[in-house]
Amino acid sequence: MELLRKKKSKFYWYDFTVGGRRYRGSTKESNRNRAGSIAAIKLAQVMEGKDPLPRKAPGLVEFAERFLEWVKGAKLESKSRTYYRDGWRLLAATPLAGMRLDQITAEDVDRINFAGAAANTNCALRTLRRMLHKAEEWKLVHSAAKIKLLKEYGRNLRLDDEAEEKLLSAAEKLVESGDWKPRQKLLFRDIVMLMRDTGMRNERELYRVRIENINWKDKIILVPDSKTPDGRRMVPMSDRVISLLRARCGARREGWVFPSKRSRSGHLTTVAKRFREARTKAGLPEALVLYCGRHDYGTRVMKETGNLAAVMKTMGHKDVKTAMQYQHPELEIVRVALNQTGSATEPGA
């Protein structure tokens, strides 16, 4: 029997094989002596035929009902619940759905292909990984298969001036054609401009802005809650942000900046459908999403200030590597520099 300690766990884990079946799990103890005692008890239980795990693990489809019920009641973000439901929808259409939990191996997973980009595949893989770990936690399987995610590449598109102009022009045309109402165009315009000029995360921060958190005197917005602890921060307001927010808030002194009667939360939760419609009308690539406005914000601020620390602070980043993902290289600067050195000469010169 082996007693080991994983890198990301403070507890000792046992690992042994009896009758050709491998048993592995956490002892829930950080003290080696106590962990050894618990591992010995586990071994004795297996040797005596008192293994608490069922002889036959349930199928993935059967287990999905319990897993989705857990997702529904667990303390998860709304976005995480949607993510796992989407992940299961992808998994349900694969041969894995017809397999028992203890039969699924890493090789089986590697043979499955999902349509779309790597992010789409990883949605399914992360969901499967979470399902298998929950099955292990609920003692339905002895150990979960190790599932490797695909490499995802960061977004390289920016919602820049040109893209903004095309989107807003498309929104105007959608109103003229009767597909949108004027108030929908106004909301869409405000969201696009705010994303570009505040760099906020749209769902977690921008849609949740409250009037009480706007400091008109100092021209800043307080983000009280975010994706990470460092996300709590002050965001400076540009002149057009101030103008836009004053017009939207009007005489109101409290409440959501973007209230919504349709949402249980009381505030706006998405403009994804409108963004897709405007993007299609404008002829822009599908890879361009609203979040690209945050990338554009980081790139513009970094270019004008050269101050990475300031960019990290206003965007709510702690890790430099994360912040650098938003600093898209300015290729024009490189081109001009090459021309100035004389290394780029005209052909035949």
Q: How far apart are CA 296 and CA 293, in angstroms?
A: 5
List per-block mean pLDDT (blocks of 10 residues) for the chain, which spans 349 residues.
82 80 81 87 74 72 94 88 93 93 91 81 94 90 85 74 96 97 97 94 92 95 77 89 95 95 90 95 92 88 79 74 54 58 51
Can you give the pTM of this predicted structure?
0.59
Which domain range does residue 11 map to? 2-47
pLDDT of res. 310: 78
Question: Quick check: is 275 in a domain?
Answer: yes
Residues 189 and 289 in one domain: yes
Is residue 227 within 8 Å of residue 204, measured between CB atoms?
yes
Question: Quick check: is 13 in a domain?
Answer: yes
Residues 189 and 95 in one domain: no
Residues 174 and 301 in one domain: yes
Question: Quick check: is 240 in a domain?
Answer: yes
Residues 94 and 207 in one domain: no
Residues 20 and 64 in one domain: no
Residues 77 and 191 in one domain: no
Q: In what order do the strands lie in the sheet with 12-18?
A: 2-5, 12-18, 21-26
Question: Considering its fold, how many domains does the chain have in total?
Answer: 3
In the chain, the N- to C-terminal Cα span, in Å, equals 76
Residue 297 belongs to a domain with what CATH number? 1.10.443.10
Question: Quick check: is 146 in a domain?
Answer: no
Residues 132 and 229 in one domain: no
Which single residue is written with the structure tokens 């498309």?
A: 170
Q: How far apart are CA 267 and CA 13, in angstroms?
A: 45
Torsion angle, alpha carbons of 83, 88, 90, 93, to 10: -170
Question: Quick check: is 349 in a domain?
Answer: no
Q: How far apart are CA 89 and CA 120, in angstroms?
A: 11
Residues 112 and 167 in one domain: no
Residues 37 and 184 in one domain: no
Question: Quick check: is 126 in a domain?
Answer: yes
Question: Quick check: is 343 in a domain?
Answer: no
Is residue 97 within 8 Å of residue 60, measured between CB atoms?
yes
Residues 127 and 36 in one domain: no
Q: How far apart are CA 290 and CA 195, in angstroms?
A: 8
Residues 230 and 291 in one domain: yes
Residues 180 and 110 in one domain: no
Question: Quick check: is 144 in a domain?
Answer: no
Strand partners for 4 = 13
pLDDT of res. 344: 46
